[in-house]
Amino acid sequence: MNTFTRNEGVRHPARRKTSIAATALAALGISFSCATCAAADDDFPVQVPDFQHPRLLSTQNVSATPEAQIASVAVPAPAVPPTQPAATTIDVHTNEATPAAPVAPSGAPANAVPAVAFDDHVVPVAPAEAPAAVPVELPPERAALELIGGDGKMTNGYGYARAFSLRGMAVTSAGVLQGELTQQSRFGFSGNYGNVSLTHDFSEDYYTNVGVGIGNSPLFPSWRVDATGYRKFGSERQYVAGVGAYYAKGNEIERSDQGLLFTGLAYFSGMVIEGGVRLNWANPGDILGPSEYVAATFGNDDHRAIIIRYEHAKETYKVLPGGPELVNFKSNTINVQLRQRVSRDSMLLAGLEYYLSPVYDRLSLNLGWRWSLR
């Protein structure tokens, strides 16, 4: 059984503890397997984005523990406050006795709150408060589709960088299956890339993600393979460590990349922190170009998720107007994404990214829509 479906069998509050670390790698494009993070600037050493990232999938469908659903205690009906004996008045003309109105307890104000007697003590009864609203929990996604478009303006007269992607995800008996078709254009080049990946659970503590892809033009590899293994730690499996490797063959002679990935995630209440290092060796020359990143996710896909990511990289070969060039410079990228639930089966996707390098800067905006099948 895959991680996603296993979580559905766990009810609150135990479900919160297990699902928070039961990660199935599915794809948002905000981790090592991210090309949208540096959408139009990173070349194929950076993995093409997955469809739904583990940080969101693992916290998805987890609402607050329904403590407000504790059985309410019946409140006794207010008793009639004790009264003093009614006095009697005598009409001096008719000699008839008239009972006087009952007298409230001494010192009680006219608008006193009804009270209940407990062991000879009068205890005011406050009005019962309405129970706190419990967040509505959405049923799990069995499949989903995303359509995303992005446009970025580059400085130094380099024009625009554009990208369009169609992504899909389906939960199967073998695991979480994902696929993507993407088209990008920049520096006078245009190319297409397609990939498919599978996330499979081997046990409660171990899962893997493997993927293959093919592409054309200098913007993408001719073909690429990836494999990453993950291990969960902690009493609630709230910590995850991953180690992976990849190989990408370029569309130019002698051009290729290979590398190692080291990543870690920590799940907290309402927040997930992620960080990692990528070691990439680029050919020709077997040149090392490492990169480091850190990311934080607030919220989840049931309502709203905000993701902030920063990456620092040493870039080696890069596609520029003249084609792939050896640049050997350092770059910085910051990305902010919003995933806003609009309805039960629809979500708005929006992202803003700024890329800074010695050659040019780029400011990009991405917009998209997600359809969920439950």
Q: Could you tell me if residue 104 is inside a domain?
A: no
Alpha carbons 147 and 127: distance in angstroms, whole number: 51
Q: How many of the other CB atoms lie within 10 Å of CB of 103?
A: 12
Q: Could you tell me if residue 59 is inside a domain?
A: yes
Q: Could you tell me if residue 322 is inside a domain?
A: yes
Q: What is the CATH number of the domain that holds 222?
A: 2.40.160.40
Q: Could you tell me if residue 364 is inside a domain?
A: yes
Q: Could you tell me if residue 164 is inside a domain?
A: yes
278 within 8 A of 264, measured Cβ to Cβ: no
Indicate the number of domains in the chain.
1
Task: Print the domain residue range for 252.
Answer: 3-63+135-373
Return phi, psi of residue 76, to 5°: -60, 150
Residue 24 burial (10 A CB sphere; 0-12, 13-18, 19+) = buried
Return the half-sphere exposure (C-beta side, CA atoms, 13 A cut-off) of residue 82. 9
Instruction: List the one residue out of 222, 186, 151 whose CA is nearest residue 320.
Output: 186
Tens digit of pLDDT for each residue in 164-207?
999 999 999 999 999 999 999 999 999 999 999 999 999 999 99
Alpha carbons 135 and 64: distance in angstroms, whole number: 7
Q: Could you tell me if residue 179 is inside a domain?
A: yes
Tens digit of pLDDT for each residue in 23-60?
333 333 333 333 333 333 455 443 333 444 443 343 33
**Position 131 pLDDT exceeds 70:** no
Q: Could you tell me if residue 79 is inside a domain?
A: no
Q: How many of the other CB atoms lie within 10 Å of CB of 71?
A: 5
**Position 3 pLDDT exceeds 50:** no
**Position 373 pLDDT exceeds 60:** yes
Q: Could you tell me if residue 129 is inside a domain?
A: no
